[in-house]
Amino acid sequence: MRIRPYAPGDLDALYDICLRTGDNGRDASNRFADPRLLGEVYAAPYAAHDPGLVSVLVTDDERVVGYVIGCRDTLAFEDWCEREWWPELRARHLLPDPADESPDAGLVRQIHDRSVEVRPWLVDPASHPAHLHIDLLPEAQGGGWGRRLVERLVDQLVALDVPGLHLGVGSENTGAIAFYERLGLAPLDGPDDALILGRYLPVRDGVGSTEGRAG
């Protein structure tokens, strides 16, 4: 396997992997009526907004089996989505009936009301503005590729002078939590119903205090 930059032809693989890892790392294919909906929220907008911050893990025959995606500034990314991404999705996915509690309906509500999804998770936009998502199919797990993908993105963010990053993870996803902690992420203060991990990034000259920093 090897890691390479994202290419436009990888987009369908991003949708597929996002769905097949979308239930706390497990396959969510049987949970969603629309197989692309999860990727419309959690994968594709990153590739559209800043494809340079997307890297993919491929097999020897160029099959994509994992990816890391991210943005350097969460608020700027969400502003871009509000202008360029969500309007089309809102037109295609009308608000569901209030009684509809399906996973599809929940995602559509997130598309229409981003405040419930973004603002509670962004603990400190000045210190941890970036965020990331990483997803690997089972066949790509356990070989250190997840660490390499994250480190590749971290190197890119450092080169962009980004001071820190954050991410949200399900509190029951103990495997993912342990993985992120090994990468230097530590819990940040946040809403009671969410686990948010963060990490300060080094300055490019390697000089700078990390006193009081998480990670």
As a whole number, mean pLDDT of residues 75-79 equals 91
Please report whether residue 212 resides in a domain.
no
Categorize the per-residue pLDDT at 215 as very low, low, confident or very high, splitting at 50, 70 and 90: very low
Residue range(s) defining the domain that contains residue 67: 2-200
Categorize the per-residue pLDDT at 115 as very low, low, confident or very high, splitting at 50, 70 and 90: low
Q: What is the 3-state composition of the chain as percent helix, strand, coil, each rounded to the nearest 5? A: 40, 20, 40
As a whole number, mean pLDDT of residues 9-21 equals 97
pLDDT of residue 171: 77
Categorize the per-residue pLDDT at 214 as very low, low, confident or very high, splitting at 50, 70 and 90: very low
pLDDT of residue 193: 60
Categorize the per-residue pLDDT at 125 as very low, low, confident or very high, splitting at 50, 70 and 90: confident
pLDDT of residue 190: 61
Please report whether residue 179 resides in a domain.
yes
pTM of the model: 0.87
Please report whether residue 213 resides in a domain.
no
As a whole-number percent, the residues of the chain with pLDDT over 90 amount to: 73
What total of structural domains would you count in the chain? Answer: 1
For the stretch 137-177, pLDDT in tens is 999 998 999 999 999 999 999 999 999 999 888 777 888 88
As a whole-number percent, the residues of the chain with pLDDT over 70 amount to: 87
- How far from each other are the two terminal CA atoms of the chain, in whole angstroms? 29
For the stretch 47-69, pLDDT in tens is 999 999 999 999 999 999 999 99
Please report whether residue 207 resides in a domain.
no
122-157 residues labelled b (16+ CB within 10 A) or e (exposed): bbeeeebbbbbbbbbbeebbeeebbebbbeebbebb
CATH number at residue 172: 3.40.630.30
Please report whether residue 209 resides in a domain.
no
Please report whether residue 148 resides in a domain.
yes
pLDDT higher than 70, residue 123? no
Please report whether residue 143 resides in a domain.
yes
Q: Reading across the β-sheet that carries 164-169, which strands appear in turn?
A: 2-5, 55-58, 64-71, 130-136, 164-169, 195-200, 186-187
pLDDT of residue 192: 60
Please report whether residue 215 resides in a domain.
no
β partners of residue 84 = none
